[in-house]
Chains A and B, each alone.
Chain A
Amino acid sequence: MMQHLSNIYRLGIKELRGLWHDKVLFLIIIWAFSAGIYTKAIAISSGLHNAPIAFVDEDRSPLSGSIINAFYKPYFKTPEFIVLSDIDPGLDAGIYTFVVDIPPNFERDVLAGKQPDIQVNIDATRMTQAMIGAGYIQNIINGKLLEFVQSSRSGAVLPIELATRVKFNPNLTSTWFSGVMELINIITMLSIILTGAALVREREHGTLEHLLVMPLGAAEIMLAKVWSMGLVVLSAAGLSLYFIVQGLLSVPIAGSIPLFMFGALLHLFSTASIGIFLGTVSRNMPQLGLLMILVILPLQLFSGAVTPRESMPEIVQVIMQVAPTTHFVSLAQAILYRGAGFNTVWPNLLAIIVIGTVFFFIAMARFRKSLAAA
């Protein structure tokens, strides 16, 4: 037993030395965990941010003016004024996502109770922004109209009001979300690539064959790769969480960081096992590269880190139950944002371990076979 552990340890050290030797790779990993996460976190707003909007003000009344003035940064870019004929070209060229057309005599018609139409043109190809922005615009215009009407005549008060509180992220600061989710994406991506490529590289260079004639088992060779690459990714992730996420992005972490890191550790085991599995399936590096794209993209896109899981098709939700990322994203959100403890997240932890173990054993079963085929 001690000998096995010692073998795994020694081989892992060898992997680390190799990694250290490849300075370009090292720099890229550092970039991904620092600048990559930072850039992503501050660039993207999952809420509405700087949406480009234009107005065609055919009314030029105080009311239309007050509506237009209600659109300001950071939700919207400072509104631009255009003429009716510019609406289509502007939307076509993608300059504006929203163009609001306030018809002539709008204020007069409102006061006369004629219920005039106000038209909002939305570039519906711009998914998230179009969707959230449409709601905002509707609420803002309705609010302004209500305000206007109430000030001009004593109107009815809404009998039910909603006192909305947003838990865990009161201002819906999107950096909180995108920073941590990018961290998770990078953890997943790097652990798969590094372990998979480390295996294919050994096979291409003939060193794997050499290891197999020594008193080493396939499991030892695999575990060495898992722990060494896992360690690199885990420490980079820990530093990134401390310095970038908590430090630079000042995201408040609600729950226990050690618990999160423990989850990350288990997650790394399962993604690294997937990486090794892919390494045994592909015969050369180009094949591995393509396979990885095929695997990593769905793992990231459907993990719940990009769009909510609820809105995915049923079948996708079911399939993604066997993806470690799904459980890790859910676990990370629970711990980091909602302050959940072990009692809440243990099913996720368990799922990750089971998935990782299954992939590990499949990879192990394929290990020697893949060598003979190469």
Chain B
Amino acid sequence: MTTIAQITGLSHRYGDTFAVDNIDLEIPAGCLAGLIGPDGVGKSSLLALISGVRKIQDGVVQVLDGDMRSNRHRSKVCPRIAYMPQGLGKNLYMTLSVFENVDFFGRLFGQGREEREWRINELLESTGLTQFRNRPAGKLSGGMKQKLGLCCALIHDPELLILDEPTTGVDPLSRRQFWQLIDRIRARREGMSVMVATAYMEEAEGFDWLVAMDEGRVLATGSPAELMTQAAADNLDAAFIQLLPEEKRQGHKELLVPPRINQEDSTPAIKAEGLTMRFGDFTAVDHVSFEIQRGEIFGFLGSNGCGKTTTMKMLTGLLPATEGKASLFGNPAKAHDLATRKRVGFMTQAFSLYGELTIQQNLVLHAQLFHLPEKTIPARVNEVIEHFDLKGYEDHLAAGLPLGIRQRLSLAVAIIHKPEMLILDEPTSGVDPVARDSFWELLIGLSRNDGVTIFISTHFMNEGARCDRISLMHAGKVLASDTPQALVDKRGKQTLEEAFIDYLEEATTTKEDRSEKNTGEITPATDSSFQSRPVFTSAFSPLRLLGYAYRESLEIIRDPVRLVIALLGTVILMFIMGYGITTDVEDLSFAVLDWDQTPQSRDYIQNMSGSRYFIEHAPIHSQAELDQRMASGELSLALAIPPNFGKDLKRGRTVEIGVWVDGAMPFRAETVRGYAEGMNYDYLIQLARRTLGEVPAQTIADVEMRYRYNQDFKSLYAMVPAVIPLLLMFIPAIMMALGVVREKELGSITNLYATPVTRLEFLLGKQLPYIGLSMISFFGLTALAVFVFGVPLKGSFPALSLAALIYVSATTGLGLLVSSFTKTQIAALVAAAIFTMLPTISFSGLNEPVSSLEGPGAMIGRFFPATYFLNISRGIFTKALEFSDLYADFLALAAFIPVLTLLSLMFLSKQEK
């Protein structure tokens, strides 16, 4: 038997914990190989290491006859492997349509338009997604998302398909269809190897070959039948439990549900009457009614997207119902009813705890928020840690833990305050069988012993069978509601699963969305010229780059609000800054302490208050008042005219006027001082003219001030050409800064790891649309400057546009750099804001040239793109300069692009660490 992957001595650690502990394994080629085992035993880590997505720490992994530690081998075999990460649609783009998602992956694998079109049609047809071709991925149900993920993974005809828990959180019908699809694909593409991690043992029974794992080690390998024989068990679930080491098996026993004792209080715990929810013209929940008694376990079963979650949200008051009524404990469900909320424990479908806190911290926080008595908290937290088998994980950050462990944490949080009612939305999806059983044991105990009402939704039929009553839901409507046994009997089936699928099929055949079910046979496309084309990888592919650029553009266009803020925002800021920022200092407040009170002194004051620069405030009466009024900031300037001013002036004696300037703002103080001196000078000349009838030789020479480029010394003319570089720095950098880090935070960064796209293609591809968007801003801003502000563009417009193009490439590059070294979007925002605002406003020559700066600021200014574009923009706008006059600035500006790109490349890695 040939092998697809050979693993020797492989270990992988996160901190001190071994996720994979010295594994040796040979995985046979051409078969459906499954990884089974509880949560957190290293299944996902192993798959990620085999696929080359995660960096190997220790050991050897040989995949497709080569060492996965070698970069060259990885990039060679990458196009032959497909990897689909854990989580519903984790590597999909929610705003993109079904077609666009698959199309994007096709581009990443360098396929031409015709080939992509052909392959996508084929894949969508065989997965029954054709009808939903134009629906955004975010609006698909969980099962459809997984199918779409599969399409994306299969677009390049991989030889090895790696699926990490592809059916977790998917309803039974969709799950069945999913595996049928995989079977058909395998039948057609002979020789394709598939590796799957799964939490569903009944699925694994159908696989060719299995690896049972526990605590980072391999327990056993072989076909399902072999494993069952080895463990002497008649189903895989039991076999797995038998394979576990002795101490782990302890305490596990068949679950029995004791009958429910009727409660005395007959008010229903939950009552829903005609509950309806509409989003626009789409009815998510359509007149749903039910009653749940106290202490009852009530199950909600239904396909993905059938309205279960929405119903639960209406019960908790998170969503106000469009129609109908819901009440908890006889009180209507309201958003602000804190008292009721305390009696309810709620668990949402998506993991919604704090990834940045440890398990222990998360539990303690919730215990505190529910106001458990401080003394009992440690004991209670330990108790639930024990119950949910979270021991050993207490000090781990929740974000780094496997899905199953996080689910258990969410559950633990939901019951920490011992609520009287539990509303649980798919609490056990992704949780391994042993943990699921112990969780149910707990639920049954709560219900039977403490009379807790439990309202639970699930995809597991054996869980549904344990409920007192269940409702089957589809497309917003309740199909049937009864005890599980009654439902099975009604349909004349053996199991609940069969009964359920029967109900669903009946409901869907009457509906038009049958096409999802349409699983037409795939016609073997042997005649196609695209089939099994030679695999090649180039070091740089413009097609892959454009693939990313195209995807990013689509995402921008799908978020019109962002687009509008980006474009309109620049215009608004241009107006605000163009008109608002002036360096003309006018309307300064001043007041006079006049000791003299003669016509002469009043004449002097008159000279000042008559100017446009100063506004006179009420006179000052004492030195103390002068100090106080200056301290309050009321006065920028105070004058003290001495006694006998008038007399002395007449006698020709030199008199001295006291002048106080508010130095709190040095720039203003400089200006005030200059004005005061200038005005004094003017007054003297006037005085001389009046008294002597002629001007004495005060003016020895004329100092002729020539304000170049801006004759009237208008702030606007100087400001507008400077605002353009400012805005083309902030907005592109901020938008770009979220580019990479957002993919890191939301998970789609996996596509960089798992596809042949190189880091450079990824970076440049993401950058291109923002450069385009910024150029649109640039043309808008220039038009605004010329036509609205009336600032003439004296120099060459093509030269300015070229400079702008280079500049926005550099500013988006700066954002990209920030994005590649930060880990969270918040950090990226803060970094982008601080590292662009401070240097642009202060160190790039906006108010004074960089050559006048001192210290590190001068250095920063010299190595900042805004400095050069500011010079170019002003040069071309006001000085009528051409390209030839400014080529040095152009060169300096252009040099930023490769430097920034290289730095970004350094911080970005092609594998997960």
**Does the CB pair B665–A333 fall under 8 Å?**
yes
**Does the CB pair B633–A10 fall under 8 Å?**
no
Docked pose: A45 CA to B885 CA in angstroms? 29
**Does the CB pair A113–B662 fall under 8 Å?**
no
Binding-face segment, A204-212, A239-247, A266-274? A204-212
Chain A residues with CB below 8 A from B885, complex form: 92-93
**Does the CB pair B631–A338 fall under 8 Å?**
yes
With A36-B838, A134-B705, A166-B660 already in contact, 15 other A-B pairs whose C-beta atoms are closer than 8 Å: A43-B858, A125-B721, A127-B583, A132-B671, A145-B700, A157-B654, A177-B665, A182-B838, A194-B830, A212-B335, A216-B338, A293-B731, A298-B573, A333-B664, A368-B335
In the assembled complex, how far is the CB of residue B715 from the closest CB belonging to chain A, in whole angstroms? Answer: 7
**Does the CB pair B718–A124 fall under 8 Å?**
yes
Docked pose: A28 CA to B830 CA in angstroms? 8
Report B652-672 residues with CB < 8 Å from chain A CB. 652-671
B704 at interface, CB cutoff 8 A: yes
Q: Can you name the residue of chain B whose Cβ is closest to the Cβ of A312?
A: B580
- Binary flags per residue of A134-156, CB closer than 8 Å to B gives 1, else 0: 11111101100110110000011
**Does the CB pair A194–B826 fall under 8 Å?**
yes
B630 at interface, CB cutoff 8 A: yes
Q: Can you name the residue of chain B whose Cβ is closest to the Cβ of A32?
A: B834
In the assembled complex, how far is the CB of residue A222 from the closest CB belonging to chain B, in whole angstroms? Answer: 15
Chain A residues with CB below 8 A from B678, complex form: 135
**Does the CB pair A198–B826 fall under 8 Å?**
yes
**Does the CB pair B709–A206 fall under 8 Å?**
no
Report B830-878 residues with CB < 8 Å from chain A CB. 830-834, 837-838, 841-843, 845-849, 851-858, 860-861, 871, 874-875, 878
In the assembled complex, how far is the CB of residue A91 from the closest CB belonging to chain B, in whole angstroms? Answer: 6
Chain A residues with CB below 8 A from B667, complex form: 46-47, 128, 132, 174, 177, 307-308
**Does the CB pair B821–A77 fall under 8 Å?**
no
Q: Can you name the residue of chain B whose Cβ is closest to the Cβ of A132?
A: B670
A1 at interface, CB cutoff 8 A: no
In the assembled complex, how far is the CB of residue A275 from the closest CB belonging to chain B, in whole angstroms? Answer: 11
Out of A52, A159, A297, name the residue touching B649 (CB < 8 Å): A159
A50 at interface, CB cutoff 8 A: yes
Binding-face segment, B116-124, B352-360, B779-787? B352-360
- Binary flags per residue of A1-36, CB closer than 8 Å to B gives 1, else 0: 001001100110110011001101100110110011
A28-B834, A311-B582 as given contacts; A43 in contact with B854, CB under 8 Å: yes
In the assembled complex, how far is the CB of residue A138 from the closest CB belonging to chain B, in whole angstroms? Answer: 5
**Does the CB pair A212–B352 fall under 8 Å?**
no
**Does the CB pair B663–A172 fall under 8 Å?**
yes
Chain B residues with CB below 8 A from A176, complex form: 666
What count of chain A residues pass the 8 Å CB interface test?
Answer: 155
Q: Can you name the residue of chain B whose Cβ is closest to the Cβ of A26?
A: B827
Out of A292, A330, A337, name the residue touching B663 (CB < 8 Å): A337
- Binary flags per residue of B588-610, CB closer than 8 Å to A gives 1, else 0: 11000000000000001000000
In the assembled complex, how far is the CB of residue B712 from the closest CB belonging to chain A, in whole angstroms? Answer: 9
In the assembled complex, how far is the CB of residue B592 from the closest CB belonging to chain A, in whole angstroms? Answer: 13
Which one of A3, A126, A283, A337 has the highest number of Cβ atoms from chain B below 10 Å of its Cβ?
A126
**Does the CB pair B666–A172 fall under 8 Å?**
yes
- Binary flags per residue of B499-514, CB closer than 8 Å to A gives 1, else 0: 0000000000000000
In the assembled complex, how far is the CB of residue A226 from the closest CB belonging to chain B, in whole angstroms? Answer: 16
Could you pull out 23 A-B pairs where Cβ atoms are within 8 angstroms?
Answer: A42-B857, A43-B853, A43-B854, A45-B666, A117-B702, A121-B706, A123-B708, A127-B846, A128-B667, A129-B847, A132-B667, A160-B649, A160-B683, A162-B656, A162-B676, A166-B661, A168-B662, A214-B366, A286-B562, A287-B565, A294-B569, A307-B581, A316-B579
A155-B697, A159-B655 as given contacts; A193 in contact with B826, CB under 8 Å: yes
Out of B631, B663, B857, name the residue touching A166 (CB < 8 Å): B663
Docked pose: A146 CA to B701 CA in angstroms? 10
Binding-face segment, B166-174, B192-200, B339-347, B479-487? B339-347
A115-B702, A135-B674, A290-B565 as given contacts; A162 in contact with B680, CB under 8 Å: yes
Out of A129, A173, A372, name the residue touching B666 (CB < 8 Å): A173
Docked pose: A25 CA to B824 CA in angstroms? 8
In the assembled complex, how far is the CB of residue A2 from the closest CB belonging to chain B, in whole angstroms? Answer: 9
Report B518-551 residues with CB < 8 Å from chain A CB. none
B369 at interface, CB cutoff 8 A: yes
A43-B856, A159-B687 as given contacts; A177 in contact with B702, CB under 8 Å: no
B379 at interface, CB cutoff 8 A: no
**Does the CB pair A11–B369 fall under 8 Å?**
yes
- Binary flags per residue of B717-757, CB closer than 8 Å to A gives 1, else 0: 11101100000001100110110001001100000000000
Chain A residues with CB below 8 A from B71, complex form: none
**Does the CB pair A163–B585 fall under 8 Å?**
no
Docked pose: A150 CA to B535 CA in angstroms? 92
A48 at interface, CB cutoff 8 A: yes
- Binary flags per residue of A101-127, CB closer than 8 Å to B gives 1, else 0: 000001001100101111111111111
**Does the CB pair A311–B584 fall under 8 Å?**
yes
In the assembled complex, how far is the CB of residue B489 from the closest CB belonging to chain A, in whole angstroms? Answer: 37
A56 at interface, CB cutoff 8 A: no
Chain A residues with CB below 8 A from B355, complex form: 205
Docked pose: A214 CA to B763 CA in angstroms? 42
Docked pose: A298 CA to B727 CA in angstroms? 12
Which one of B318, B356, B569, B573 has the highest number of Cβ atoms from chain A below 10 Å of its Cβ?
B356
Docked pose: A14 CA to B702 CA in angstroms? 70
B587 at interface, CB cutoff 8 A: yes
**Does the CB pair B335–A301 fall under 8 Å?**
no
Docked pose: A310 CA to B842 CA in angstroms? 22
B365 at interface, CB cutoff 8 A: yes
Chain A residues with CB below 8 A from B856, complex form: 35, 38-39, 42-43
**Does the CB pair A340–B671 fall under 8 Å?**
no
Chain A residues with CB below 8 A from B354, complex form: 14, 18, 207
Out of B341, B653, B829, name the residue touching A288 (CB < 8 Å): B829
Complex A-B, nearest 9 residue pairs according to Cβ-Cβ distance, in ascending order: A43-B857, A169-B663, A25-B827, A124-B710, A46-B667, A135-B674, A129-B848, A210-B352, A206-B352
A334 at interface, CB cutoff 8 A: yes
Chain B residues with CB below 8 A from A338, complex form: 630-633, 662, 664
Report B785-835 residues with CB < 8 Å from chain A CB. 821-827, 829-834
Q: Can you name the residue of chain A whose Cβ is closest to the Cβ of B663?
A: A169
A250 at interface, CB cutoff 8 A: no
Chain B residues with CB below 8 A from A201, complex form: 824-826
A83 at interface, CB cutoff 8 A: no
- Binary flags per residue of A333-356, CB closer than 8 Å to B gives 1, else 0: 110011110001000000000000
B282 at interface, CB cutoff 8 A: no
Q: Can you name the residue of chain A whose Cβ is closest to the Cβ of B652?
A: A159
Out of B357, B715, B734, B875, name the residue touching A14 (CB < 8 Å): B357
**Does the CB pair A160–B580 fall under 8 Å?**
no
Docked pose: A292 CA to B717 CA in angstroms? 27
**Does the CB pair B696–A6 fall under 8 Å?**
no
B713 at interface, CB cutoff 8 A: yes
B673 at interface, CB cutoff 8 A: yes
**Does the CB pair A24–B827 fall under 8 Å?**
yes
Out of A11, A109, A182, A311, name the residue touching B585 (CB < 8 Å): A311
**Does the CB pair B348–A6 fall under 8 Å?**
no
Q: Can you name the residue of chain B whose Cβ is closest to the Cβ of A212?
A: B318
Out of B365, B371, B700, B860, name the residue touching A149 (CB < 8 Å): B700
Docked pose: A308 CA to B588 CA in angstroms? 9
A124-B710, A206-B348, A302-B580 as given contacts; A290 in contact with B673, CB under 8 Å: no
Q: Can you name the residue of chain A whose Cβ is closest to the Cβ of B632?
A: A344
Docked pose: A207 CA to B356 CA in angstroms? 12
In the assembled complex, how far is the CB of residue A57 from the closest CB belonging to chain B, in whole angstroms? Answer: 15
A258 at interface, CB cutoff 8 A: no
Q: Can you name the residue of chain B whose Cβ is closest to the Cβ of A281?
A: B561
A70 at interface, CB cutoff 8 A: no
Out of B572, B825, B838, name the residue touching A40 (CB < 8 Å): B838
A28-B827, A135-B674 as given contacts; A311 in contact with B559, CB under 8 Å: no
In the assembled complex, how far is the CB of residue A168 from the closest CB belonging to chain B, in whole angstroms? Answer: 5
Docked pose: A287 CA to B701 CA in angstroms? 60
Out of B365, B705, B829, name the residue touching A138 (CB < 8 Å): B705
